[in-house]
Amino acid sequence: MLFNLRALSPLVVFLATSALAQDHSSEQSEAQISDPNLECTPYYYAPSGQFVNTFPPIWQPATLLANDTDGQALWAKIAPSIPTNILPKGQLNGSTINVTYDSVNDPDCWWSIRQCTTPKLAGLSPDVSSVPEPKTMGYGFDDGPNCTHNAFYNFLSSQNQKATMYYIGSNVLDWPLEAQRAVADGHEICALTAFQSQDAFAELWYTIKAIKLVTGVTPTCWRPPYWRRRYRHVLRMQDRIRAIATALGLQTIVWKYDSFDWKAGQGNITATDPSTTVGGIILTHELNNFTMQEAIKWYPQLKAAFSAIVPIGVALNKTQPVQGDQLFPPDVRAMHWFELEPNLELQLGIRKHQVVLGADPRRAWRCAVDGALRHGASRRSHTMMTRMDDIPDEFN
């Protein structure tokens, strides 16, 4: 039987479009979904789903699995360096009721007491609560990936804006394609644990493991979990937790400005707020559609207040924002540098420390050039710079 294809074409187009709009088969197709209800339709993603049994149950406080040989071996290796005289403080829900502690001397550098960020324990680096360049904002979002984030990530892309995404391991396993979009869009990924469990090693270990499994990126930074109680933040962040994070290769990031985006009408940073000596880090959230819409609403105000809004790794001038040789695709450090200096013809003298160099320096150079093109470089400049004989000698 022959069908009238002309008559069927509108139906075919409709079905094809509908199928594409609900396709959860890849990061690219997932990013095309615009209906939040369809975005949050559960799906199975085999590359990560087949390994879900190697993790503790999601959305529960983590404990180290007995059959996790890698985790057990790593804990055995670092445990001797972790202090045993510093105990967890407070309840899982953030309550500090009935906690006995020397709040005057704050011997464990417990953040919730005096917002301590300089550890008392020897050998630990201070928490990062500001960035070195004045009028610079370390821009990032907690609690992702959220399944409804396409509109928000589209907005960030439309502004050529990169950010640091602090991802919860359970969210990453729930929404792997959404996590992959952060990498595809050039954002930095840091870890964020959902619980303030006594087993801080397991919380961090499995969060890192989930991010690596899904995105291929092993983060070098994390933000501790906190709870809001009577409009103040409560963290069980103290030197024992810092020691575990340090042993796992994680830099602790806190914040200077709280957007209070989790409650309406509080996001108000003006041009008089930024320091003239150091830059700031803002606490914002990918928690739900409301907090993401708040970020969009207040973005022009941030742009007016700060000279540069960049991921935390860029703000800290990190040359290796991920563990190992893997580059962010694309290179966030190079893209920010070219964003500040868009005239490509003047950038032939770029130095290695200004690009995230991987195992292949030429690949890093091409990544930098591609990033420059996305930030307004001319097509002629791009063509010129991607010829192999135009790559600076230091990258050969």
122: CATH: 3.20.20.370
What residues of the chain score a pLDDT lower than 50?
A: 1-20, 229-234, 261-267, 272, 325-359, 374-392, 394-396
89 with 194, same domain: the answer is: yes
Is residue 373 included in any domain, yes or no?
yes
Is residue 97 included in any domain, yes or no?
yes
Is residue 33 included in any domain, yes or no?
no
Cα–Cα distance measured from residue 173 to residue 165, given in angstroms and rounded to the nearest whole number: 15
Q: What is the pLDDT of residues 140-166, one digit of tens each?
A: 999 899 999 999 999 999 999 999 999
137 with 274, same domain: the answer is: yes
276 with 336, same domain: the answer is: no
202 with 92, same domain: the answer is: yes
278 with 371, same domain: the answer is: no
- The domain of 132 spans 69-315
Cα–Cα distance measured from residue 165 to residue 142, given in angstroms and rounded to the nearest whole number: 6
Cα–Cα distance measured from residue 333 to residue 58, given in angstroms and rounded to the nearest whole number: 33
294 with 146, same domain: the answer is: yes
229 with 281, same domain: the answer is: yes
CA 234 to chain centre: 21
pLDDT given for residue 90 in this prediction: 61
pLDDT given for residue 114 in this prediction: 81
pTM: 0.74
Q: Which residues are catalytic?
A: 142, 285
195 with 340, same domain: the answer is: no
Residue with tokens 């602090």: 166
Which residue, 288, 315, 342, sits at the end of a domain?
A: 315
Is residue 32 included in any domain, yes or no?
no
Q: What is the pLDDT of residues 291-300, one digit of tens each?
A: 898 899 999 9
pLDDT given for residue 386 in this prediction: 44
